[in-house]
Amino acid sequence: MWIDDVRQWFKLSPIQLLTLTLFAEAGVEGRTGLQAVLNVIHNRTLYPTKYIDQDILNETGSRYHAVILKKWQFSCYNLGQDRRQTQQYTDPNTFDSAVRNNPLLSLASDVVKTYLNTGINDITGGANMYCYYTLTDTIAHWRTFATYRTQIGHHVFFAEPPYIYESFQKYHAGNYYTGTRYQEVEQLIVGTSAVGILGGV
């Protein structure tokens, strides 16, 4: 069952919601695992017709809220999940103090701030889907429409077309992933940036 009241997270800022999602989805995966989940969220913001809930976007004005809280997307917001730690962090006034007192939340917050301030590399190969590695047989049908990209920690990452780096490859010869930061990639493809997306929160 999906979350019972999606609006309880609308009060959080985009930074807070991103931090919470990374913490709940990959809090024990270390900085690299947190970054990988953030890569997926970011990649989804580039495809508003597919991964963004338009009603949530209209109500919050935030692409991040519209991606993260879209129904059946991130299991940490589903009812009945053991990892559903998200419900205890719905008050924006106490969120920052929770970050200071929880090392895993603090690490997730640091990854988010780095992303928004300077950009981060895509270490997932342009993935826009992932699952826990033990579930790969359960979601084997993904392979009929998505391409395996990589495994990072306990998560396996897939890219469902269109791949954002197909456009990027037109501008740079060689391998798909050259370590170029998100802002540079997005300016080439969609003329925006991570900071630009935040500006339209």
Cα 158 to Cα 151: distance, rounded to the nearest angstrom? 9
Structure tokens at 48: 């508003």
Whether residue 66 lies inside any domain: the answer is yes
Whether residue 158 lies inside any domain: the answer is yes
Task: Give the pLDDT of residue 84.
Answer: 53
Task: Give the pLDDT of residue 73.
Answer: 87
Task: Give the pLDDT of residue 47.
Answer: 82
Domain count, the chain: 1
Whether residue 124 lies inside any domain: the answer is yes
Task: Give the pLDDT of residue 152.
Answer: 92
- Name the H helices within the chain: 14-26, 30-45, 48-51, 54-60, 63-68, 92-101, 103-118, 164-171, 182-189, 194-199
Residues of the chain with pLDDT under 70: 1-4, 79-86, 135-143, 162-201
Task: Give the pLDDT of residue 132.
Answer: 78
pLDDT digits (tens, 9 = 90+) for 62-84: 999 999 999 888 888 876 655 45
Task: Give the pLDDT of residue 35.
Answer: 96
Cα distances (angstroms) measured from residue 192 to each of 45, 111, 113, 123: 11, 20, 18, 20
pLDDT digits (tens, 9 = 90+) for 155-178: 999 888 755 444 444 433 333 333
Task: Give the pLDDT of residue 139.
Answer: 62
Task: Give the pLDDT of residue 138.
Answer: 63
Alpha-carbon torsion, ordered 189, 60, 114, 50, to 10 deg:
-40
Query: Which range of residues forms the domain containing residue 123?
Result: 6-199
Whether residue 194 lies inside any domain: the answer is yes
Task: Give the pLDDT of residue 80.
Answer: 60
Whether residue 112 lies inside any domain: the answer is yes
Whether residue 1 lies inside any domain: the answer is no
Whether residue 142 lies inside any domain: the answer is yes
